[in-house]
Amino acid sequence: MMPRLNETYFENDMNNNQHITSLFRPDVQRLTGYIPGEQPQESGWTKLNTNENPYPPSPNVVNAICKAATSPLNKYPDPLVKHFRELASELFQVDPDWILPGNGSDEILTILLRSFVDAGESIAFPYPSYILYGTLAEIQGAKYEHLPLNTDWSFAPGAKQIARRSKMVFVPNPNSPSGNCWSDEELHSLIPEKGIFVLDEAYGDFRDSPHRGEFLQSEFGKQTVITRTLSKSYSLAGIRFGFAIAHPDIITGMRKVKDSYNCNSLSIAAACAAISDQPWMQKNKEAICKTRTRLAKSLSEFGFDVMPSQANFLWCTHQEKPHSELFEQLKQRKILVRYMKFEQAGPELNQTVDGLRITIGTDEQIDTLINALKEMV
Amino acid sequence: MMPRLNETYFENDMNNNQHITSLFRPDVQRLTGYIPGEQPQESGWTKLNTNENPYPPSPNVVNAICKAATSPLNKYPDPLVKHFRELASELFQVDPDWILPGNGSDEILTILLRSFVDAGESIAFPYPSYILYGTLAEIQGAKYEHLPLNTDWSFAPGAKQIARRSKMVFVPNPNSPSGNCWSDEELHSLIPEKGIFVLDEAYGDFRDSPHRGEFLQSEFGKQTVITRTLSKSYSLAGIRFGFAIAHPDIITGMRKVKDSYNCNSLSIAAACAAISDQPWMQKNKEAICKTRTRLAKSLSEFGFDVMPSQANFLWCTHQEKPHSELFEQLKQRKILVRYMKFEQAGPELNQTVDGLRITIGTDEQIDTLINALKEMV
């Protein structure tokens, strides 16, 4: 009988222990690692912390998955994900070879870094925004700079110059955690001189007037990669499916970097069914936007400053109560929101910005939150 | 109405076109890209080219997927894939923190390169074996060396020295395309002095006596990462699920490099059901091994030299007929096998080795192949 291996198996071998950790790339040794929002696996939580859609996906998705479950799963999936690309190409009015599917848009971001950014080169992204961009740069051995933002979340004067000299610029639009959108004119000023502009539209469907790839038609279109996910608007965070839209020259190169079979037969089936049911997605979007308006009003009444949002979450700051305390008090009531703190932010990158990012849930979930806040503030 | 974007959209802008391709990292520009075996999407093919299992996965897998389809797919999956790790840890007699699940074992290989191998460093792997190792090194900006093999697929004298100086050594055991296994003693001689040894057990379950993590108990255990996949023995190439087994110090570091949610709720459910049904996997393994014996005998009768195999495929060479012609003749009959040609192989890395790698299908599929060969040779 073989002994079970546990953490202490090599404990008498301390030198070797030291040795192994030092085999990691120095960039990886230094890395803290990206910490996603908490994902409690037990039930009973009002989960408003990771911008998931509170509504289920289209019923067609369930049927498509069950059908795929009895398809030949012993065979590899289609490495080019042809069917999904055809469907997405109709929606975005591009040819299918402008589409690259991925295992979540996080994988698309990873592929972008690995395709275009060499060790020592520098990327840039607005700050505060999605922290993962910086983590991915660090893994790649690259550097990153923050594009400074004014208090109203417009770009501060220094942003343009930093963006212009970067190898890759990431801009989430709408932005997280703020929920605001920047205009195409503002974005055009951030196109790198010799680099790739990534327009991260993870929350794009929640806008009043969603983009449909128009950005690619501008003179900067060939340098631009739009990233999209089915996690948010299509209620499919669980299946990990995102995609890039860009000129075929870009897609072809990125395809060399991705794993051959990066999407699986089940998630492909689910994604195809979801993107084909636009009315379902639109209905949920409208419900979320309506609830968002109601929550924003309540939060204002409780003394919060609420940033107008084009996404499925609200960024709010309170004039009196410390945000970390509010977060903890809500957590004690089994309500999870996201407390976020950004050091060295602001137009001069020398202020601390913190606040609460609250995902828009169902009306019932938001009532639970409002009732809790009533007792607290 | 927005015009549809197609490949010619920027055609009057040739300078810009040139400019964009040159934005890729030089390593990616040089890259040919790994070319997986053909995956015809239409039916009617006898597909014996990508080492898929010809039998369906456990019926429990179908049920688990349909159940997961009605679970909250709007929520992110468990980023640590706790349930699968617990199941795999029982099977391999290690603690759950020795297990890292991935989106196919190809993703695990990618994470290994990105975790341990810096640009300019060098990896090594037997040649001929899995060509993807070299592609992943190139993407990472790393170099690779081939470990030379004798005609009988044992390691040639130069192999040990190359392996010892490498940052990472990959050894598939059983090997592909040859199907042979190397002994633990042979493998021990290939452990790098200051590097990671990756024991790729994609085909490990087809061995007469499969490993169950024993290799990790040796004095080289802390430097070793075993990779496993559910694509082959568990008939689940379609769901993309593999995992690494290694000391927690290694797993913890690799976890920083992987995407947070690299496995999806559906494939996790399928993987848990599959690994829990060991009798199903064993039954299919036995059927495959029996068919393998029968095919090997037939191939010998047709004048092939057949390498004894511990995997779900056979490597064979013909004494008279050119292998590429045999491949084409079979393809005309809608039978796909894998024609493989390796330049600069052999003990001195100066010979050309080619042959056919034939996946073991059902008895019916193998009869189709045998009947075709009867007409051909």
The reply to whether B323 falls in a domain is: yes
pLDDT given at position A302: 96
Angle at A81 between CA A76 and CA A86, to 5 degrees: 155
The reply to whether B5 falls in a domain is: no
Domain boundary among B225, B248, B278: B278
Distance CA B159, CA B347 (A): 9
Cβ separation of B5 and A217 shorter than 8 Å?
yes
Beta strands in B266-337 (DSSP E): 304-306, 313-318, 335-336
Band (pLDDT 50/70/90 cuts) for residue A6 is confident
pLDDT given at position B2: 62
Band (pLDDT 50/70/90 cuts) for residue A301 is very high
Residue A375, Cβ neighbours under 10 Å: how many? 8
Picking from B211, B224, B208, B121, the residue whose alpha carbon sits closest to that of residue B170 is B224
Distance CA B303, CA B321 (A): 9
Question: Torsion angle of alpha carbons A306, A202, B25, A193, nearest 10°?
Answer: -50
The reply to whether A331 falls in a domain is: yes
Same domain, A198 and A284: no
pLDDT given at position A2: 62
Query: pLDDT tens digit string along B38-83?
Result: 878 788 999 999 999 999 999 999 999 999 999 999 999 999 999 9
Q: Is residue B94 classed as helix, strand or coil in its secondary structure?
A: strand
The reply to whether A175 falls in a domain is: yes
Q: Å from B264 to nearest chain A CA?
A: 5
Same domain, A70 and A212: yes
DSSP, residue by residue, A258-322: S-TT-S-HHHHHHHHHHHH-HHHHHHHHHHHHHHHHHHHHHHHHTTEEE---SSSEEEEEESSS-
Torsional sign, CA B287, B292, B297, B303 = positive
Same domain, B271 and B301: no
Q: What is the ipTM of this complex?
A: 0.95
Q: Is residue B148 classed as helix, strand or coil in its secondary structure?
A: strand
Please check the confidence at residue B14 and state whether its pLDDT lies above 70.
no
Picking from A251, A264, A201, the residue whose alpha carbon sits closest to that of residue A230 is A201
Query: pLDDT tens digit string along B236-281?
Result: 999 999 999 999 999 999 999 999 999 999 999 999 999 999 999 9
Domain boundary among B212, B244, B278: B278
Specify whether the CB–CB gap between B131 and B34 falls below 8 A. yes
As a whole-number percent, the residues of chain B with pLDDT over 70 amount to 97
Q: Å from A61 to nearest chain B CA?
A: 8
CA closest to B107 among chain A residues: A259
Band (pLDDT 50/70/90 cuts) for residue B11 is low
Query: pLDDT tens digit string along B360-372?
Result: 999 999 999 999 9
The reply to whether B31 falls in a domain is: no
Preceding amide of B3 cis, omega within 30: no
Cβ separation of A106 and B17 shorter than 8 Å?
no
A144-157: average pLDDT: 97
Same domain, A232 and A340: no
Query: pLDDT tens digit string along B146-156?
Result: 999 999 999 99
Between A80 and A10, the higher pLDDT residue: A80
Picking from A295, A305, A341, A50, the residue whose alpha carbon sits closest to that of residue A152 is A305
Distance CA A134, CA A146 (A): 9
* Candidate from A5, A13, A41 with C-beta closest to B93: A5
B293-318: average pLDDT: 98
Cβ separation of B236 and A25 shorter than 8 Å?
no
Can you read off the two tokens belonging to residue B129? Answer: 């074996």
Specify whether the CB–CB gap between A56 and A362 falls below 8 A. no
The reply to whether A231 falls in a domain is: yes
Same domain, B197 and B334: no
In the numeric block, the tokens 């020259």 are attached to A249
* Candidate from B69, B116, B267 with C-beta closest to A23: B116
Same domain, A271 and A304: no
Same domain, A224 and A310: no
Query: pLDDT tens digit string along A200-249?
Result: 999 999 999 998 888 999 889 999 999 999 999 999 999 999 999 999 99
In the numeric block, the tokens 């929101």 are attached to A337
Give the residue from B1, B4, B5 with the most A CB atoms within 10 Å of its CB, the best one to mutate.
B5
CA closest to A95 among chain B residues: B6
Question: Torsion angle of alpha carbons A166, A168, A173, A175, nearest 10°?
Answer: -70
Distance CA B279, CA B281 (A): 6
A61-77: average pLDDT: 97
Q: Å from A348 to nearest chain B CA?
A: 30
CA closest to B43 among chain A residues: A72
Query: pLDDT tens digit string along B86-121?
Result: 999 999 999 999 999 999 999 999 999 999 999 999
* Candidate from A20, A250, A262 with C-beta closest to B223: A20
Query: pLDDT tens digit string along A103-143?
Result: 999 999 999 999 999 999 999 999 999 999 999 999 999 99
The reply to whether A265 falls in a domain is: yes
Q: Å from B325 to nearest chain A CA?
A: 26
For residue A239, list chain B residues with Cβ-Cβ distance below 8 A: 73, 264-266
Cβ separation of B61 and A69 shorter than 8 Å?
yes
Distance CA A8, CA A196 (A): 47
* Candidate from B62, B217, B247 with C-beta closest to A69: B62
Residue A15, Cβ neighbours under 10 Å: how many? 7
For residue B70, list chain A residues with Cβ-Cβ distance below 8 A: 62
Specify whether the CB–CB gap between A45 and A336 falls below 8 A. yes
From edge to edge, which strands make up the β-sheet containing A304-306? A304-306, A313-318, A351-359, A338-345
Integer distance in angstroms from the first to the last C-alpha of chain A? 61
Per-position b or e across B121-153, b if 16+ CB within 10 A of its CB: bbbbbbbbbbbbbbbbbbbbbbbbbbbbbeeeb
The reply to whether B1 falls in a domain is: no
Preceding amide of B177 cis, omega within 30: yes
Cβ separation of A249 and B17 shorter than 8 Å?
yes
Domain boundary among B231, B262, B278: B278
Cβ separation of A117 and B25 shorter than 8 Å?
yes
* Candidate from B23, B34, B266 with C-beta closest to A196: B23
| Alpha helices, DSSP H, located in chain A | 14-21, 26-30, 59-69, 82-92, 105-116, 132-139, 159-164, 184-188, 248-257, 265-276, 278-301, 323-332, 363-376
Cβ separation of B70 and A62 shorter than 8 Å?
yes
CA-derived radius of gyration, chain A: 22
For residue B118, list chain A residues with Cβ-Cβ distance below 8 A: 25-27, 119, 141
| H-run or E-run covering B102 | strand B99-102
Inter-axis angle of helices B363-376 and B323-332, nearest 10: 120
Query: pLDDT tens digit string along A275-292?
Result: 999 999 999 999 999 999
Give the residue from A75, A235, A359 with the most B CB atoms within 10 Å of its CB, the best one to mutate.
A75
Same domain, B52 and B187: no
For residue A24, list chain B residues with Cβ-Cβ distance below 8 A: 115-116, 253
Same domain, B351 and B296: yes
Query: pLDDT tens digit string along A312-358?
Result: 999 999 989 999 999 999 999 999 999 999 999 999 999 999 999 99
Total domain count, chain A = 2
Distance CA A361, CA B72 (A): 14
CATH of the domain at B294: 3.90.1150.10
Which range of residues forms the domain containing residue A193? 59-277
Picking from B239, B184, B197, the residue whose alpha carbon sits closest to that of residue B68 is B239
* Mean confidence (pLDDT) of chain A: 95
CATH of the domain at B92: 3.40.640.10
CA distances from B79 to A109, A323, B195, B236 (A): 18, 27, 28, 21
As a whole-number percent, the residues of chain B with pLDDT over 90 amount to 89
Same domain, B182 and B230: yes
From edge to edge, which strands make up the β-sheet containing B313-318? B304-306, B313-318, B351-359, B338-345
Same domain, A211 and A308: no
For residue A233, list chain B residues with Cβ-Cβ distance below 8 A: none
Same domain, A176 and A271: yes
Query: pLDDT tens digit string along A76-110?
Result: 999 999 999 999 999 999 999 999 999 999 999 99
